[in-house]
Amino acid sequence: MQGSLVMAAKRGGRGAHVCVKRECIKGLTAGSLSRALRVPVADLDTDALLCDANRLAQRRLLDTIGLARRQGALTPGVERIVKRNDSFVVVASDLSERGRRTLSGVPSFIEGHELGRAAGMGWLGAVSIAEPLAKQAAYWLTLWYESRSAQDASRCGVAPTPEHSKCSDGE
């Protein structure tokens, strides 16, 4: 894609490391990006970059969940997760209230059927990922949250999670 900006973890051609926090991407200007990439950047759509970052992070986290299952590092189910506290936990946005109370303090990610599809299983309310993939999963989930708000979720064509539905003003 000659002459266009693409958000990707690795890609051929000229690239730049960009802080993926919302404030950093929103603060990008065409001039600063032109200087960093040493090519003219005429149109800069920071909203599109945030959507790209969000999609990339979601895809990578789902890939990590699938990889964790194939490596035997994935524990599905709320009851089994409670017994383990040495891993990274991912919770579905449509988990029951009882499950939410059990895993209080853990933010939600996507719907259970998508979480289950990533793991090659049916609907999943929660999964835990053991090391060494736990750090990778934590990185991608953090990136996913950093690039997301209720307004961006609707613009990107994805449903906001319950946490973001409560704070539609971007808090």
For residue 1, is it within any domain?
Answer: no
Q: Is residue 45 part of a domain?
A: yes
Residue 94 has pLDDT above 70, yes or no: yes
Tell me the average pLDDT across 61-86.
Answer: 87
User: Is residue 57, in this structure, part of any structural domain at all?
Assistant: yes
Q: Which helix (H) or strand (E) holds 128?
A: strand 126-129
SS3 content of the chain, % helix, strand, coil (to 5): 50, 5, 45
| Count of Cβ atoms closer than 10 Å to residue 125 Cβ | 23
Beta bridge partners of 76: 127
pLDDT (mean) for 120-140: 91
**pLDDT over 60 (residue 163):** no
Residue 51 lies in a domain: yes
Burial environment of residue 117 by CB neighbours within 10 A (0 to 12, 13 to 18, 19 or more): middle
Q: What pLDDT shows up at residue 160?
A: 47
Residue 12 lies in a domain: no
| Of 20, 166, 18, the residue nearest 93 (C-alpha) | 166
Which of 13-27, 53-67, 70-84 is the most confident on average? 53-67
5 occurs within a structural domain: no
Which token pair is 162? Answer: 């319950």
Q: Residue 151: give the domain boundaries.
A: 22-161
16-33 pLDDT, tens digit each: 776 777 888 888 888 888
Give φ, ψ of 30 to 5 degrees: -60, -40
Q: Does a structural domain hold residue 168?
A: no
The pLDDT-based confidence of 13 (bands split at 50, 70, 90) is low
- Give the predicted TM-score (pTM) of the model: 0.74
For the domain that residue 91 is a member of, what is the CATH number?
3.30.1330.30
Q: Tell me, yes or no, whether 102 lies in a domain.
A: yes
